[in-house]
Amino acid sequence: MKSRNLLLGAAVIALGFTSCKDEKATEAEKKVDTYVVYVDSIGNVAEADAKTNWEAIDASYQMRINDAEAALENLKDKEKAQERIDASKAKYAALRDKMQDDMEVKEEVSSTPAPVNSKQQLRNALFGQGKIGDDMNFSWVNKDNIHSVYQQFIHTAEDNKDSYSREDWDEIKLMYEALDSRKNTVEKEGLSSEDNRKIAGLKFKFAPMLKVNRMGAKSEEMRDAKQ
């Protein structure tokens, strides 16, 4: 009787182990299937959506591949499962490389600076790189730097006067008047009498030069148009 009970106990334990192994194998197969299906599903996602959410997609992928590879230990046919995993790995790698290449190209294009138009090039030369844009904001000009701003503006215009077109001189006149308008504000903010005197000297020399060269450029343009 005792022997029979021992045999029955051993059988129950054996069935328990078998059942446990079957459950682990079933769970392992599910994890491999989940991984393979997930990789296939990525290929069906719209490319624009995939690029936008690529970090989340890749994080989810890493979790599933880790689960699938860990599940191999509980599978009978490990080689077949490994082949499925490797095939999905290759599919994912190809998709990932394509996405990364496309995103790098997009990043390069977006980071490429737009070509600077001739008007902005002129402003950069007269005031400094990027100091004056389309907003015509002169708030950066103050009582401490306005004299040097006039110096750069006027000396640059004088040095390049022979190369300016009529449109350039119109732009220079516009910028010059805007700078003068800013000077009126700066004077009330404590512009020193010495700097004010130096600016007056620069303006005294520049004003007639601006007028003569602007008129000359217009006359030359009219002459070229008639020819």
pLDDT (tens digit, 9 = 90+) per residue, 81-135?
Answer: 888 888 888 888 888 888 887 766 655 555 555 566 889 999 999 999 999 988 8
pLDDT over 90 at 4, yes or no:
no
On whether both 94 and 187 belong to a single domain, the answer is no
Mean pLDDT (the chain) is 83
Spatial CB neighbours of 6, under 8 Å, sequence gap ≥ 6: none
Spatial CB neighbours of 55, under 8 Å, sequence gap ≥ 6: none
Taking a C-beta distance cutoff of 8 angstroms, is the pair 177, 223 a contact?
A: no
pLDDT (0 to 100) of residue 112: 52
From 79, 111, 143, the end of a domain falls on: 111
On whether both 102 and 154 belong to a single domain, the answer is no
On whether both 32 and 85 belong to a single domain, the answer is yes
On whether both 104 and 133 belong to a single domain, the answer is no
On whether both 99 and 122 belong to a single domain, the answer is no
Question: Tokens representing 197?
Answer: 């005197």
Taking a C-beta distance cutoff of 8 angstroms, is the pair 87, 35 a contact?
A: no
If phi > 0 it is left, if psi is from -120 to 50 it is alpha, else beta; for residue 192 that is beta
- Rg, Å, the chain Cα set: 39
Instruction: Give how many domains the chain has, as a whole number.
Output: 2
Of 37-51, 78-92, 101-115, 144-158, the poorest mean pLDDT is in: 101-115
Spatial CB neighbours of 183, under 8 Å, sequence gap ≥ 6: 146, 191, 199
Spatial CB neighbours of 186, under 8 Å, sequence gap ≥ 6: 141, 142, 143, 146
Could you give the residue ranges of the DSSP H alpha helices within 128-192? Answer: 146-159, 166-188
pLDDT (0 to 100) of residue 2: 47
On whether both 163 and 211 belong to a single domain, the answer is yes
Taking a C-beta distance cutoff of 8 angstroms, is the pair 150, 202 a contact?
A: yes
| Angstrom distance (rounded) from CA 93 to CA 77 | 25
On whether both 192 and 136 belong to a single domain, the answer is yes
pLDDT (0 to 100) of residue 184: 92
pTM of the model: 0.50
Mean pLDDT of 154-182: 93
Cα-based angle 123, 128, 134 (whole degrees, multiple of 5): 40
On whether both 13 and 106 belong to a single domain, the answer is yes
pLDDT over 70 at 195, yes or no:
yes
Q: How confident is the model at residue 158 (pLDDT cuts 50, 70, 90)?
A: very high
pLDDT over 80 at 220, yes or no:
no
On whether both 166 and 208 belong to a single domain, the answer is yes
* Domain enclosing residue 82, as ranges: 2-111
On whether both 146 and 206 belong to a single domain, the answer is yes
Question: Tokens representing 110?
Answer: 């977006």
pLDDT over 60 at 49, yes or no:
yes
